[in-house]
Amino acid sequence: MSFSSDVKKELFDRTGQARHCRLSEMKAIYEVLGGRYISGDEGTIIFDRAVSVACRKFVALLTETYKAYAVSSGECVTGRDEFLRDAVSAIRTQVVRSSCCRRAYLRGAFLCAGTVSDPAKGYQLEYSLKSRELAESILEMMSEETVSAKLTERNGKHVIYLRGGEDIVKLLGMMEAGRALLVMENERVTRDVRGNINRRVNLEAANIGKAAAVGSEQIEVIKKLEEDGVLDRLSPSLKEIARIRLDHPDATYEELGGMLSVPLGKSGVNHRLRRLMELGSSIPGEG
């Protein structure tokens, strides 16, 4: 089962306690799936397309709100005519004003038209809608709930998309997808830790490479000073650090400092080696 399916399964079980929240979620399903009511001996709501989990949620919300029987079959919901007629009228006139109703509407819309990528592979959540007007309305609801999303067109559909892990987590929390939210947060933490480790490893590797290059250059200069007879004329402290560096080309400054007759810190070792480099640069080259 995909991560999207897991999220929708969880959202199916989340129902607003207040009647206005249930009506808002029903309104979302009715509008996104293109619902229309047909009166008869038995009332029928027909959706333009069938999304099983959304249609079943619609029926569950209907029966809980109106305490009357209804059943879904494919893209149809059937029930007692008077009951369905009253329900559809309430859905059509329901105004989504409060934050709790916006969240319920976003949950219902996601059941119909939403997808979310497996957080182990990346962060992407989308609503794919036929109506631009409806897409803009949902985008506005997200904005009012401080969720940053964008709208684009793709294959004739109006697609609302979120690509930031933080916004996706916020939206999942608003829709009450608690388990999915935890999976997402755990993956974000794991990815952040992995990224930090990789950055540290890369930095360490870069530092090692840089230190190796500097050490190699120092050794070349020290050998040149020795060949030109300059090394023997230097102060004991400079001769000592030069000899130790020659004997230990891969040692760090801290390690070199610990090998001296009078131990020095990294700063002191750096000062002496820098002095050797200056002396080496002052010796004329061949030719």
pLDDT in tens, 49-87: 888 899 999 999 998 888 878 888 888 888 888 888 888
Q: Give the least confident one: 92-101, 152-161, 242-251.
A: 242-251
In this predicted structure, the answer to whether residue 287 has a pLDDT above a threshold of 50 is no
How many H helices and E strands in the chain?
A: 11, 8
Mean per-residue pLDDT of the chain: 86
| CATH fold for domain 10-176 | Endonuclease I-creI (3.10.28)
pLDDT over 70, % of the chain: 90
In this predicted structure, the answer to whether residue 175 has a pLDDT above a threshold of 60 is yes
pLDDT at 115: 94
Mean pLDDT, to the nearest integer, of 5-11?
93
Is 188 in contact with 120 (CB distance < 8 Å)?
Answer: no
In this predicted structure, the answer to whether residue 209 has a pLDDT above a threshold of 70 is no
pTM: 0.68
pLDDT at 284: 57
Phi, psi angles (nearest 5°) of residue 152: -145, 170
Mean pLDDT, to the nearest integer, of 206-231?
75
Domain ranges of the chain: 10-176, 197-281
Q: How far apart are CA 209 and CA 221, in angstroms?
A: 19
Q: What is the C-alpha end-to-end distance of the chain, expressed in Å?
A: 75
Which CB contacts under 8 angstroms, 24+ apart, belong to 215-220?
215/245, 215/249, 215/250, 215/251, 216/249, 217/277, 218/245, 218/273, 218/276, 218/277, 219/245, 219/246, 219/249
pLDDT in tens, 109-168: 999 999 999 888 888 999 999 999 999 999 999 999 999 999 999 999 999 999 878 899
